Amino acid sequence: MSRRVPGRSEAGASRRAIPDSSKYQLARWWSGATIAAVLDSRVVPDGHGVWREGDHTVAFYLEYDTGTETLSTVAAKLPAYRRVQDLGGPRWPVLFVLPSRLREGNLRQRLAATGTSGVTVATASQDRVDTDPSGPIWALAGDTGPRRRLIDVPCELGSASPLNPGPATPDQDPLRLLRDQD
């Protein structure tokens, strides 16, 4: 079954579509299988990314919810992320993309009642992500304030270790081959 993951372009890459990476950049995008292998399958997110804007960087896990699991099952993923943190892994936020605003609201209610196991969680519905995944669409679990831009979601990058791949490197830029065509 094919899943649509935010940040992948269905339109193809034209020269005009490649953003100026000096202002903002998806510096790393790894599939769920790649990041799971790095973390020795302790967690298996749908993806992992590193977003940069100017001098600021946020790394994140992506959980892409299609609505086929119960919200209890979705929320039950968080203790595994906490265990990775406790073993010295990264303290990156878990971003949940949900298929509708209603489901997003229901997950936020569940997390308010059950907690996030000490993991930073931000949520957004698919329609918001389709508009601009880096924009002010992310609602932090337990926070009633305004939605945040991706770069403003709290993140501790940490240092490279057996469970932390460290900062993104130029060879991990998912658009590097297109940028190198200059």
Residue 117: how many CB atoms within 10 A of its CB?
18
CA-wise closest residue to 126 among 35, 54, 64, 50: 64
CB 120 within 8 A of CB 178: no
User: pLDDT of 82-108, one tens digit each?
Assistant: 999 999 999 999 999 999 999 999 999
Query: pLDDT, tens digit, for every residue of 94-145?
Result: 999 999 999 999 999 999 999 999 999 999 999 999 999 999 999 999 999 9
User: Can you tell me the distance from the alpha carbon of 44 to that of 24, in angstroms, rounded to the nearest whole number?
Assistant: 27
Residue 16 scores a pLDDT above 60: no
Tell me which residue of 78, 160, 157 sits closest to 123, measured CA to CA: 78
Tens digits of per-residue pLDDT, 153-173? 999 998 999 999 988 988 888
Instruction: Let me know: does 153 contact 114? Beta carbons within 8 Å.
Output: no
Helical residues (DSSP H) of 2-97, grouped into ranges: 32-38, 71-75, 78-86
pLDDT at residue 8, rounded to an integer: 42
Instruction: Kindly give the pairing relationship between strand 47-53 and strand 24-31.
Output: antiparallel
Give the model's pLDDT for residue 174.
Answer: 85
Question: What is the percentage of the chain residues whose pLDDT exceeds 90?
Answer: 75
